[in-house]
Amino acid sequence: MKFLPVLLLMAFPVAGATAADMRPTEAQIDTAFAKADTDKNGTVSLQEAKKFGITTKMFEKANPDKDGSLDKKEFAAAVSYQFTAADPDKDATLDWKEAQNAGIKDKRVFDASDPDRDRTLDLAEYLAALAAQVK
């Protein structure tokens, strides 16, 4: 998985913070991917992605081979693309309004995923919020 952090760095422009401060760890990605992969077949289908909170548009953008499923690298890219699309001010964080546009439905989930209490989510915190919403 050497390429996953590089992909996240390339897919996520940084403004004011280092990418290492905000990108999810491989363990966080593994945990989120396992939660999204409900049928445990090693990939995330469009239906699974939508249940996780990834839009069809971001699923398709992250699935260049058009095989109808996301591997772990493509899954991480889809989350990163969705985060970036919801960050119009390009400050590398999502406030509550931006997070709602990125699929976070519950303010309590938003707050619980913001351990530094800065009232914004960085990419790693956003991934945690998406995972926390999955029943």
The model's pTM: 0.83
Query: Where do the domains of the chain lie?
Result: 3-133
Ramachandran area for residue 53 (φ above 0: left; ψ -120 to 50: alpha; else beta): left
CA atoms within 13 A on the CB side of 93: 15
Quote the pLDDT of residue 22: 76
Per-residue confidence of the chain (135 residues) as pLDDT tens digits? Answer: 444 433 444 444 433 343 435 789 999 999 999 999 999 999 999 999 999 999 999 999 999 999 999 999 999 999 999 999 999 999 999 999 999 999 999 999 999 999 999 999 999 999 999 999 997
**Rounded to the nearest 5°, which phi and psi values hold at 45?**
-75, 170
